[in-house]
Amino acid sequence: MIKVLLNGCCGKMGKVIIEAAKNFPNIEIVAGIDKYPNDQSNFKIYTNSDDVDINYDVLLDFSRPEALTDILKLSTKNNKPAILCSTGYTDEELLLISEKSKVIPLFRSANMSLGVNLLNSLLKKIVPTLYENYDIEIIEKHHNQKVDSPSGTALLLADTIKDSIPNESNYIYGRSGKRKREKNEIGIHAIRGGSIVGDHDIIFAGSGEIIELSHKAISREVFAVGALKACEFMSDVIEPKLYNMDDVLGI
């Protein structure tokens, strides 16, 4: 049985993960961490990570970037792997994650959906063929409560595209004013409204044809399932390094 410590257990995604875990007979959420606990869970909830005194196999975080320091401190102290599902990390925080991954096994992904990560893998194969004759734009849509913009997933896809192009390219976040589009631009556009779970469209606009790749998250459960599969994977790793969904999918 894989024992999971869930950080952010009382948040929206925390509740979805708790429910989704019922379909994973080899996973048990043994405790949670949340600054605003409720009494609806059947496991102990700590309001401070310093107070955690329970044995666990892997820490799963689905909260906010501000929790990173506490998560890494606890994981290092216990020498346990941590799965980081939050988005919106600063460059300094990403550097900290990279450095700590040399000490303990860490997992980070901008999107926990298996479908998004398969789509990202597909981009690595097709972009080198398409970039010369197609303009590339990314449109992402999320609910009106999302804090970071553009989404971590849009940046994940954009970075994959940029890394797959041999020539120098630049991100353009939205457009305004009067000027023509430059060939080396990768457009990234963010839409916020209603209760959209998460839509991502990659557009390859050529002369006479358009190729579109799309992923639409219908339910937050898709992220929970990916996170729990990451728990299964990370519970077996020993080597300190930074893992991602490619490792889970065997890509």
pTM of the predicted protein model: 0.83
Q: Where are the alpha helices (DSSP H) in the chain?
A: 12-20, 68-78, 91-100, 114-130, 152-164, 221-234, 245-249
CA dihedral 7→13→19→21, nearest 10 degrees, is -50
pLDDT at 87: 82
Q: Show Cβ contacts of residue 178 under 8 Å, excluding neighbours closer than 6 positions.
A: none
Is 231 a known ligand-binding residue? no
Is 112 a known ligand-binding residue? yes
Residues carrying an active site annotation: 142, 146
List the chain residues with pLDDT less than 50.
none
Angle at which helices 221-234 and 114-130 cross, to 10°:
90
